[in-house]
Structure 1
Amino acid sequence: MDRKKAVVIGSGIGGLACAIRLQSLGFDTTVVEKLDAPGGRAYVRRAQGFTFDMGPTVLTVPHFIEELFALERDHARLGEPDFPEHTLGDGARVTEGTSGGPATSRYVELVPVTPFYRIYFDDGTHFDYDADPDKLRAEIEKIAPEDLDGYERFHRAAKAIFDRGFLELGYTYFGNVRSMLGVTADLFRLDAVRPLFSFVKKYFTSDKMRQVFSFEPLLVGGNPQKVPAIYAMIHFVERTWGIHFAMGGTGALVQAFVQKLEELGGTLRLDSEVERIDVVRDGRRRRTTGVTLAGGEHIEADLVVSNGDYAHTYLHLVDKEHRRINRDALVKLRKQSMSLFVIYFGYEKREGDPDLQHHNIILGPRYEELLTDIFDRKVLADDFSQYLHVPTLTDPSLAPEGHHAAYTLIPVPNNQSGLDWDALGDGFADKVLGFLDERGYIPDLKERIVYQSYVTPDYFEGTLNSYAGNGFGVEPVLIQSAFFRPHNRSEDVENLYLVGQGTQPGGGTPSVMMSAKMTAREVARDFDVPAEIANGVPAGVA
């Protein structure tokens, strides 16, 4: 195959994963990134000796990472994943051996995090979410013993959804209605289309257990009251392969992906914002010829993959005369996910500090009503829930000696709310940090902080080019899932593709890596990549 040229817009995890796969397929691949460093939402902020991951910090399914690092030039391995046998099955346990395979270990060190999350309730009690089935049942018995039987039934139902929805259908690309109709009956049979929170309520009577087993879609931009119950599989994905952390932070994983891309012959260009996806017209056909950068430079390419925000890609990078399907009205009609307010802070350690964990979920006094405020009413409520991340409990190198680096993330309405974050930001940050101090999560925090900054929905809209400041792309509701989610192959422009959280299958680090393989498969099919390349197996990899 003559080597053709590919351009990938954006160096998020999905974009880099797709670029690595395209390079291994035989394309000369260039990644163009607006910012001065790679990562997109996984950008890294460094200040006063602290290192802060600005985006994703929860890594699951390390086999997907291993598969990327095992790729070789002209050996793309686009077949179904070969999950290690010891990580599957009802009795599977997460161990150190599942974190980093031999290929991964050459680039980055992954370590398991246990417990997965400590979930704090507003009354001061907490629940340690863990892969160990005995520990998990002990936590349920401690807080809601009446729900032990319900958990067993939920566990079986979640496993059935996981087996069908993830292991069997995880890499299914729903490019047409026929592909969707083939699985609809199964989804109804598994009760996987009803809202997740409603699904969870069937099995648990305790409000606390309902929150514990429904909150996870918030980590990918979904409202537990609205996402389909197929998201119950997250419980089993985490239980099967665990939650992991890249030593040095998620940014170390991003840099490792860049290293892998460059070793394969690919190129990353920073400070290179795309102004336009170039399209030529031949009758009713429209075909991309590359991209034009903000400075006017044209980069010629046989195909373009956008890892940018779905709405931004079509509304701002593809001229409307070339869009018959993804017209302005349709793009703007799609419901966007909520946004985020994230505070990055460094503080002094003290003897006798409370026993925080690496990942902490701190729930407010309301659950369902707060979700409605954020997603539907789009108002900034007086109360809030937050995800407090303290990675220096695992990797002290991320902060100066004697200090912790942390961030706390609060779901907030996206910018369709009309909230003025220039006016609200400082006060809201003080309120959140004051809460952590006054409620005893980090006592005397205000006295101990040595560095503090924050981002608002305006950062997502202005810096990351996310439509309406969304934090996770298109919201994962039922009518925006599978076939109804934006497609990885553009319906409007030939040789234009999309990848990442805004496309199929959805948000979250494993999903965007799955999205990269889906998109690469479509490219391989469209460009007639020989089967021995598309499904090749690198030397030394079974």
Structure 2
Amino acid sequence: MTRRTALVIGSGIGGIACAIRLQSLGFDTRIVEQLDDVGGRAYVRRAQGFTFDMGPTVLTVPHFIEELFTLQRDLAMLDAPDFPPAVLGDGQRVRSGISGGPNTSRYLDIVPVLPFYRIYFDDGSFFDYDADPANVRAQIARLAPEDLDGYERFHEAARAIFQRGFLELGYTYFGSLGSMLGVVPDLLKLGAVQPLFSLISKYFKSDKMRQVFSFEPLLIGGNPLKVPAIYAMIHFVEKTWGVHFAMGGTGALVKALVRKFEELGGTVQLGAQVAKIDVEKRGRKRVATGVTLASGERLTADLVVSNADYATTYLKLVDKAHRRINRDAVVKFRKQSMSLMVIYFGYEMRDGDPDLRHHNIILGPRYEELLTDIFERKILADDFSQYLHIPTFTDPTLAPPDHHAAYTLIPVPNTLGEIDWATIGDAFADKVLRFLEERGYIPDLGKRLVYRSFVTPDYFEQTLGAYAGNGFGVEPRLTQTAFFRPHNRSEDITNLYLVGQGTQPGGGTPSVMMSAKMTAREIARDFAIDRRIVAGMPG
């Protein structure tokens, strides 16, 4: 029997995860990637003995990774429990250092990171954020004792949102308005549709605690002032499964997933930029039949999955004559997430350096106003906040001996603003590094610096093909959540599917893995694949 074929555009984590699932569903699958290596936003930069993850660095929900490494050819496991009882523990696995399951461990090592984040405030004080209830309460008592009672009430609210929004609804594909309307009453009852910052402000009086418990959506492109309070579940996602790091960097995870995909029989074609998705009219239907590469080569397949940016997929890869739902005006109307400036740098170690951590959040003097500048006004303010990532505290092999590899990430407006990054980028990078030196985070950094490079929103737009230079796809806000978020199955074109941060359920490494499973389930349904038999279970 001839096996069906599938093409996946883009080798981001969501694309690779979907390709693995398609291969296990019985499709001969090929990934086409425009860059010279895999990873997409998780591309790796190497220079002067330093290894820099260019994109995501925070791993959560390690059993999602374990599930991918468990899949086999013609063993899709689509009907296996999404959250088996064995992974719903009390967090002891995190504190005991068990991150990767047995199948993951055949491919790479994943280790826990504690604290999850050290959050620095502008006055120099800090909060070590982790899953230990006693430690969290001690941190609050030290910085804002008036918020201890509020934390207990927030904790219970977040638990309820996590239970309903993540464990029960996380894998729900909202393909119709009716599928969403059925859950709205529950979300209203939980207070999960109001802005997250509004929910947080009900429980915390201190500005510091409001920032500590609302900043996390920024890591997936969300504005805490606008993102719905259902994202309070991130607190419990991290509390339940911890924050982890792949030894060798996120790039090592990407390479391991590609190895798994190729072991299943899949293929990867690098340097293969897609010029268009080929569509054929069949009666009243429009059907995806493959892709045409920029080189002129045409690749045919029974289905196409785009891991490219949602807006770019429709605006640049699909002829507008084939788009009745995702028309130009509709696609451009959706709000895009903010963008990023990321500075990659290597520096010499020194005894007596300040006690930084693997993940450091350095907040500026303003919070709400700065968020408004970035997301709404789209202006580059004089002040900034940043995420300073120093993975060599966990994995020294990422830098030459006696050196640290680091990157610092600054949320900035996307390119729908009027910022000329080609003109100001270099000076802004200097300003950020000078801040780290002058504020004492890395003393004498200028003298110790041995490597520096950076990317701006122009990189996201021009190299990664992200519309408006967005860093995280479509912005997660209430009007762009669940059914209102771009759909994983194209409404316009049969056999065209989307996967990744721009689709349901949203951005972030665990979410794009969830997106891959949701998309694979829709494909199995559309192609009438008996998921029970494919999963190795009797019909």
1:271 is aligned to 271
Give 1:37's aligned residue.
Answer: 37
1:319 aligned to 2:319? yes
Name the aligned partner's letter for residue 287 of structure 1: V
Counterparts of 2:269 and 2:531 in 1: how far apart (Å)?
A: 30
- CA distance in structure 1 between the aligned counterparts of 2:141 and 2:19, rounded to whole angstroms: 47
Asked if 1:195 is matched to 2:195, the reply is: yes
Distance 1:282 1:112 in 2: 52
Residue by residue over 1:203-261, the C-alpha shift from the partner in whole angstroms, topping out at 9 and shown as x without a partner, is 00000000000000000000000000000000000000000000000000000000000
| 3-state secondary structure, aligned to 1:140 | helix
What TM-score results when the alignment is normalised by the length of structure 1? 0.98
Aligned to 1:284: 284
Indicate if the aligned counterparts of 2:91 and 2:242 stay in contact, CA closer than 8 A: no
Alignment partners' CA distance in 1, 2:10 and 2:459: 16
Aligned partner of 1:171 in structure 2 is 171
- 1:90: Cα distance to partner? 5.5
1:334 aligns to 2:334 (yes or no)? yes
The CA distance in 2 between the partners of 1:80 and 1:463, in whole Å, is 38
Deviation of 1:92 after TM superposition, in Å, equals 5.2
Partner of 2:393: 393
Cα pair 2:51 2:405 within 8 Å, conserved = yes
CA shift in 2, pair 1:269/1:533, >3 Å: farther
Is this contact kept in 2: 1:75–1:532, CA < 8 A?
A: no
Alpha carbons of 1:164 and 1:80: their partners in 2 closer, same or farther (altered >3 Å)? farther
Matched with 1:108 is 108
Cα distance in structure 1, aligned partners of 2:482 and 2:413: 24
Q: Which moved more, 1:203-212 or 1:87-96?
A: 87-96
Inter-partner Cα distance in structure 2 for 1:94 and 1:254: 22
Matching of residues 149-164 of structure 1 within 5 Å: 149-164=149-164
Identical pairs, percent = 76
Matched, 1:26 2:44: no
The 5 Å alignment of 1:500-539 reads: 500-536=500-536
User: What CA distance in whole angstroms lies between the structure 1 residues aligned with 2:364 and 2:523?
Assistant: 45
Post-superposition shift, 1:262? Answer: 0.2
Letter matched to residue 126 of structure 2? H
Distance apart, 1:496 and its partner CA: 0.1
SS at match of 2:276: strand
Q: Does the 8 Å contact 2:111/2:246 carry over to 1?
A: yes
CA apart distance, 1:98 = 3.8
Equivalents in 1 of 2:221, 2:242: separation in Å? 20
User: In the alignment, which residue of structure 2 is the partner of 1:377?
Assistant: 377
* Residue in 1 that maps onto 2:445: 445
Q: What is the rounded CA distance, in whole Å, between the counterparts of 1:463 and 1:533 in structure 2?
A: 42
Whether the aligned pair in 2 keeps the contact of 1:437 and 1:446 (CA below 8 Å) is: yes
Q: State the AA in 2 paired with 1:402.
A: D
TM-score calculated relative to the size of structure 2: 0.98
Deviation, 1:2, is 3.9
Name structure 2 gaps, 5 residues minimum: none
Q: After the TM superposition, which residues 78-477 of structure 1 pair with which residues of structure 2 at under 5 Å, given as runs?
A: 78-79=78-79, 81-83=81-83, 85=85, 87-88=87-88, 94-96=94-96, 98-477=98-477
CA distance in 2, matches of 1:356, 1:97: 21
Q: Is the alpha carbon distance of 1:275 and 1:206 closer, same or farther for their aligned partners in structure 2, counting shifts above 3 Å?
A: same
SS of the residue corresponding to residue 222 of structure 2 reads: coil
Structure 1's 200 and 101: CA in aligned 2 closer, same or farther, altered over 3 A? same
Query: Is contact 2:91–2:131 with CA below 8 Å preserved after alignment?
Result: no
> How far does residue 536 in structure 1 lie from its aligned partner after superposition?
3.1
Task: Sort the Cα spacing of 1:45 and 1:342 in 2 relative to 1 into closer, same or farther, 3 A.
Answer: same
Q: Note closer, same or farther for the CA distance 1:415–1:24 as it changes in structure 2 (3 Å cut).
A: same
Change (3 A) 1:91 1:386: closer
Change over 3 Å in CA distance of 1:68–1:89 after alignment to 2: closer
> Cα offset for 1:535?
3.2
Cα shift at 1:191: 0.3
Measure the CA separation in 1 of the matches of 2:80 and 2:191: 26
Q: What's 1:12 paired with?
A: 12
CA distance in 1: counterparts of 2:504 and 2:324, whole angstroms? 20
8 A Cα contact 2:83 2:167, kept in partner: no
Q: Confirm or deny: 8 A CA contact 1:98 1:241 kept in the other structure.
A: no
* Partner in structure 2 of residue 479 of structure 1: 479
- 1:269 aligned partner, one-letter code: Q
Give the Cα–Cα distance (whole angstroms) in 2 for the partners of residues 434 and 114 of structure 1.
Answer: 27
The question of whether the paired residues in 1 share the 8 Å contact of 2:276 and 2:317 is answered with yes
Taking structure 1 as reference, are residues 339 and 82 closer, same or farther at Cα in structure 2, changes over 3 Å only?
closer
Does 1:73 find its partner at 2:69?
A: no
State the 1:418 CA deviation. 1.8
The amino acid that maps onto 1:370 is L
**Residue 86 of structure 1: how far off its partner (Å):** 5.3
Aligned pair in 2 of structure 1 residues 448, 272: CA closer, same or farther (>3 Å)?
A: same
SS of structure 1 residue aligned to 2:474? coil
Contact residue 79 and residue 532 of structure 2 kept, 8 A: no
Alpha-carbon distance, 1:89 to partner: 5.1
SS in 2 for 1:417: coil
Partners of 1:41 and 1:176 in 2: how far apart?
30
The 3-state SS of whatever aligns with 1:224 is coil
Paired with 1:24 and 1:406, the residues of 2 have a C-alpha distance of: 37
How much does 1:182 deviate? Answer: 1.1
- Structure 1 portions without partners, runs of 5+: none
**Equivalent-residue separation in structure 1 for 2:406 and 2:17 (angstroms):** 27
In structure 2, the partner of 1:55 is 55
Tell me, yes or no, if the aligned pair for 2:78 and 2:531 is still in contact at 8 Å: no
Would you say the 8 A contact 2:93–2:99 is kept in 1? no
* Residue 178 of structure 1: how far off its partner (Å): 1.1
Q: Contact 2:33–2:270 at 8 Å: present in 1 too?
A: yes
After alignment, is 140-149 or 10-19 more displaced?
140-149
Give the CA RMSD over aligned residues.
1.2
Secondary structure of 1:94's aligned partner: helix
**Structure 2 CA distance for aligned equivalents of residues 406 and 41 of structure 1:** 17
Check whether the contact 1:415–1:457 (CA below 8 A) recurs between aligned residues. yes
| d(CA) in 1 for partners of 2:486, 2:36 | 28
Following the alignment from structure 1 to structure 2, what is the Cα–Cα distance between the partners of residues 513 and 90? 23
